[in-house]
Amino acid sequence: MDKYAREGNARGLRFSIIGIPALISFVLFIPLIFIALYFGAPVISGLVSNIEHGTIIHVLNSVGGGLAALGIAIIMQVIGKKRLLPFFFLAYFMSVAFAKLEINMTIYAIFGVIFAILYVMLSQKNASENS
């Protein structure tokens, strides 16, 4: 994909972004769907109930528990600007502290917009006072 982007090859880039993932999806999912339809719901139900209490689900639960920490580390790396890190920590600890209140993401987004407006207003005020 990088080769096509470097060359400016739009057709190759389109194929590598749309075509290859579609082909891989067909190869992976069509046989599984065919098998599921061929054997029917009782066989698939039995397979799922056997997997439910097995090692696979335990591994997936363990990996899923670590994904939150990985996401936080990636966000901190992407932010990179030390002056913006307090906002990240504020948002994180607000979400942890207010978890029992069952506040949805829209309310957190509204809080974020309010904090951003305050930050811009105070930054502009400080800049005008210093000049």
How many domains does the chain divide into? 1
Q: Is residue 77 part of a domain?
A: no
Kindly state the average pLDDT of the residues 110-130.
84
DSSP secondary structure letter of residue 100: G
Q: Is residue 69 part of a domain?
A: no
Q: Write out the residue range of the structural domain in which residue 25 sits.
A: 1-53
Q: Is residue 37 part of a domain?
A: yes
Kindly state the average pLDDT of the residues 12-39.
91
Q: Is residue 38 part of a domain?
A: yes
Residues of the chain above pLDDT 70, percent: 99
Quick: pLDDT tens for 34-89: 988 998 888 888 888 878 777 888 888 888 888 878 887 777 777 777 777 787 78
Structure tokens of 34? 């065919």
Q: Residue 19 has what pLDDT?
A: 92
H/E stretch holding 60 reads: helix 55-79
Q: Is residue 19 part of a domain?
A: yes
In the structure, what pLDDT confidence band is assigned to residue 131 with cuts at 50, 70 and 90?
Answer: low
Q: Is residue 41 part of a domain?
A: yes
In the structure, what pLDDT confidence band is assigned to residue 91 with cuts at 50, 70 and 90?
Answer: confident
Q: Is residue 43 part of a domain?
A: yes
Q: How far apart are the C-alpha atoms of 131 and 127, rounded to whole Å?
A: 6
Question: pTM of the prediction?
Answer: 0.40
Q: How far apart are the C-alpha atoms of 68 and 76, rounded to whole Å?
A: 12
Q: Is residue 7 part of a domain?
A: yes
Structure tokens of 6? 């470097």
Q: How far apart are the C-alpha atoms of 30 and 11, rounded to whole Å?
A: 26
